[in-house]
Structure 1
């Protein structure tokens, strides 16, 4: 017997919404969502992320061009969650303490995790209020351009965008891989043939219609994986270089 309540019911019904009505998000709802982000768990209580609310139409358009998704520019609300070690580094500096460790990968990933948790927490709240949302990993297509658009200082880095508003579409619930392939006990489990193990899921995926592709059925999951793993978006596989340019120290053994 499955345990369910209103929150879980909303989470199980999650769908990506890319098109919204022109109805604005009321201020009281927006303020509540920011409060939800504020109360999200944060590593060591350091609160090492910030949120940029993008309201300038030109900036929205520029971000949509980075993401190669023109609908981003039409979103009623657009938030960019960023790693933010700048603030705590400045606090440390003002306290007269060496800031060398504010630049290490541990601090970077603390901020990255904080950002992702806050975004996820906010989206659950968004959907609970009858709105829809879209995670925008596409902002990393050109992280340097996003940094430029948002005027991000050193020791910050864009993680994910979230666009949201009142839904203007009803997409299908996208099939997901069975969790027996992703939940293991005590040790990682491997399979001799993942294509064979995922045969039924492949067939199920081919019944799904993605509204981005004129209601065309999608390829099988394993075909999608093979295609995406065999290619790279020009700047995304070089993200470590951008992280370094933002002042973080990768501290690799060979460096």
Structure 2
């Protein structure tokens, strides 16, 4: 398989949850944000924003929401925002109809833009020798995040990203076999034998990794996550609609 520095970086991604007690300087933060801004954007509408959480009290509240104490102490916390509010402002300023910004198409586009920009931050950070982890756990209480960050209508917190100087090097987590996620010309149903083999791979990984060992297969992991969810996550769809997204 072809390899180079970029491909090596992408194929050796690890989520980092333990950071050294060293803050990111302003130039590093600006570099990460510039990388995010250069990410592909649907129809060049640039329908995302990023909020850096630096206030100690706010960081403490995010640590409670995410259940990750490191968001309060080490590492820089970014919150990726799906943002059609800015575009609505532009439309209203020109006295134009902004109804389309609320529909499913433009709602998805805003979330796509925010997610893609977030991945650019992660990749850029790793290229600079930093570590990062994406925090979907901010959605444990989406409404509280909206309130804490004073998010207006047509904005929504997609996920957080903690970035810092890594203080750990976790084992590389095996992914599904390529044939399970890449198909040609049409969708293919999951293959039981392939999943059986992957279960063994994941079970071995969890048993032998350097920390937090456990006896679990991929199927067990998926089934558990299908049955258990923080209570307030069931409110996400109604909160999305209350924020003005997916109205039609």
Between the aligned partners of 2:15 and 2:71, the Cα distance in structure 1 is 13
Match of residue 235, structure 1, among 229, 232, 244: 232
Q: How many residues get paired?
A: 248
Unpaired runs of at least 5, structure 1: none
Correspondence for 1:162: 161
- Deviation, 1:70, is 1.9
CA deviations on 1:70-95 (whole Å, 9 max, x unpaired) are 22222320000001111110110010
Question: Within 1, Cα distance between the matches of 2:53 and 2:204?
Answer: 36
Q: What's 2:90 paired with?
A: 91
CA-CA distance at 1:31 after TM superposition? 1.3
**What's 1:50 paired with?**
49
Which 4+ runs in 1 deviate beyond 3 A? none
Alignment pair present for 1:203 and 2:219? no
* Deviation readout 1:135-184 (Å, 9 max, x if unpaired): 00111111101101111111100001110110011111011110111111
Q: Distance in 1 between matches of 2:147 and 2:74?
A: 21
* TM superposition shift of 1:209: 4.2
For residues 176 and 245 of structure 2, the distance between their equivalents in structure 1, rounded to whole angstroms, comes to 36
Question: Secondary structure in 2 aligned to 1:240?
Answer: helix
1:142-161 matches, within 5 Å, as 142-161=141-160
Contact persistence 2:107–2:246 (CA under 8 A)? no
Q: Where do residues 36-185 of structure 1 align in structure 2 (5 Å cutoff)?
A: 36-185=35-184
Q: Aligned residue for 1:217?
A: 214
1:250 corresponds to 2:240? no
Residue 63 of structure 2 aligns to a residue in which SS?
helix
**How much has 1:64 moved relative to structure 2?**
1.6
- After TM superposition, give the deviation of residue 28 of structure 1 in Å: 1.8
Query: Is the partner of 1:206 in helix, strand or coil?
Result: helix
8 Å CA contact retained: 2:23, 2:74: no
Preserved CA contact (<8 Å) 1:10 1:128: yes
Q: State the partner residue of 2:28.
A: 29
Measure how far apart 1:238 and its partner are.
2.7
Match of 2:185 in 1: 186
Equivalent-residue separation in structure 2 for 1:214 and 1:181 (angstroms): 28
* C-alpha separation in 1, matches of 2:46 and 2:199: 40
Q: Secondary structure at the match of 2:201?
A: helix
RMSD: 1.9
The answer as to whether partners of 2:91 and 2:97 remain within 8 angstroms in 1 is: yes
CA deviation after TM superposition for structure 1 residue 239, in Å: 1.1
Q: Distance in 1 between matches of 2:224 and 2:206?
A: 19
Checking the alignment, whether the CA contact within 8 Å between 1:205 and 1:218 is kept in structure 2 is: no
Relative to the length of structure 1, the TM-score reads 0.92
